[in-house]
Amino acid sequence: MSISVIGAGAFGTALAITLAQNEPVTLWARDATQAAGMQERRENMARLPGVTLPENVTITAELGDTDLSDVVLLAVPMQKIGAFLREHPGRFDGKTLVSCSKGIDVATLQGATALIRQNCPNARAAILTGPSFAADIARGLPTALTLACTDGCEALQTRLSTPTLRLYRTSDTTGAELGGALKNVYAIGAGVVIGAGLGDSARAALMTRSFAEMQRFAAAQGALPETLAGLSGFGDLVLTCTSPLSRNLQFGLSLGKGGAFDRTITVEGVATAKAVSILAEKQAIDTPIAKMIAALTNQEISVREAVQALLARPLKQE
């Protein structure tokens, strides 16, 4: 019995480091050169420089090295989860697969747990999400996250919790994954507001109305209101809309300023905004902020046009 983490980016590496306090961890990297370098230097110099990997973390590029693990954390970009699972049919039978990605798959309009159930029907699906940055987790700073699964969640909660990583459990996988997905969209909007010089009052207004929009959209998918009010919804929204470490916020800042952004950096909110807009249109859900962010990121409208459109909406009761 052991734990494996699939994906040696910043978040996957951070999870491997903290979970190694409980038991040995296998960390899989797609790139063999990266894996060998991390194994030798005991450091992820590209993503988490200055943080030492514990000796009971084994870094490998051989996926077979994870076969003995009964719990596997998927720390790969949301838009690549489906393809990764389809590449390895049957490999994860009987295991617990815990998605650590945030977003909605734009190709299928599904969340991570749905992709797990579809592609790995003999595995148990769970999701780990909430307000967190990889550097904080890796350095042992106090962090609280939501663990969502429909069965056996209490045992998994105990196993994945560490002295500095506190997990709260829920059976509402839909709400947990939508909170983590949607906050990325609205963090782009918060960045646009600040980048365009519209002020902190405007950001507070956008965050508040975004939270209402998150709840409305998630409820239409069957999520529980209390899940969105928790760590995976409101908590993650606050962190991502206010911290300069947020990639989605930084991307929004560049949009608001009209500047360039490093396109090699993963910004999950872009694809998720598109997916949310498509789903909202199909289901007749009012999501004006997500719609504007999708149009902005797709270069269909300007920042000024987006702001004017939102401010010109009919007055309503809160």
Supply the residues annotated as catalytic.
183
Q: How far apart are CA 312 and CA 306, in angstroms?
A: 10
Name the amino acid, one letter, at 146: T
Q: How far apart are CA 58 and CA 62, in angstroms?
A: 11
Cβ atoms of 230 and 167 closer than 8 Å: no
What is the number of other CB atoms lying within 10 angstroms of the CB of residue 245? 13
What are the strands of the beta sheet with 71-74, ordered from one edge? Answer: 57-60, 25-28, 3-6, 71-74, 96-99, 124-129, 143-149, 165-170
CA distances from 266 to 164, 216, 241, 251 (A): 27, 27, 17, 10
Three-state DSSP class for 160?
A: helix
At residue 162's C-alpha, the angle toward residues 47 and 148, to 5°, is 85
Closest alpha carbon to 65 in 120, 5, 15: 5
